Amino acid sequence: QVQLVESGGGLVQPGGSLRLSCAASGFIFRIKGMAWYRQGPGKQREAVAIISSGGTTNYADSVKGRFAISRDNAKNTVYLQMNSLTPEDTAVYYCYVKLGRDYWGQGTQVTVSS
């Protein structure tokens, strides 16, 4: 079955960095686009970054220049490097893939606070 397992979240000070990982299984990873979403306190879930099977990336305006999505097809893993974090980046971050229907990971909490 399809599984998406996120890791790498935690508490970080403003201006700090984190790298999230999402280990995928149960489908042919290298041919699917992947995405990271986030849901902050009291907010709707929003797309943060998308990477196509060919490596083309797109970002939400709020994270452009600070976040970078990448993938390692040999490891069936997608990453989200997050730099210059601000308290507004505090959210649960989810890995996502569409395979006929939507699949989500369990989420990993990122808290940016001093």
Predicted confidence at residue 106, as pLDDT, reads 97
Are 3 and 25 in contact by the 8 Å Cβ rule? The answer is yes
Predicted confidence at residue 39, as pLDDT, reads 98
- Burial class of residue 23 (count of CB atoms within 10 Å of its CB; 0-12, 13-18, 19+): middle
Residue range 84-100: average pLDDT?
97
Are 27 and 71 in contact by the 8 Å Cβ rule? The answer is no
Are 36 and 49 in contact by the 8 Å Cβ rule? The answer is yes
- Under the banding of pLDDT at 50, 70 and 90, the label for residue 37 is very high
Residue range 64-93: average pLDDT?
98
Query: pLDDT tens digits for 43-58?
Result: 999 999 999 999 999 9
Predicted confidence at residue 99, as pLDDT, reads 94
DSSP conformation letters of 17-86: -EEEEEEEESS-GGGS-EEEEEE-TTS--EEEEEE-TT--EEE-TTTTTTEEEEEETTTTEEEEEE-S--
Both tokens of 43, joined, read 């907010």
Predicted confidence at residue 68, as pLDDT, reads 98
- Under the banding of pLDDT at 50, 70 and 90, the label for residue 24 is very high
Are 97 and 27 in contact by the 8 Å Cβ rule? The answer is yes
Are 29 and 94 in contact by the 8 Å Cβ rule? The answer is no
Query: pLDDT tens digits for 13-22?
Result: 999 999 999 9
- Look over the chain and give the mean of its residue pLDDT values, rounded to a whole number: 97
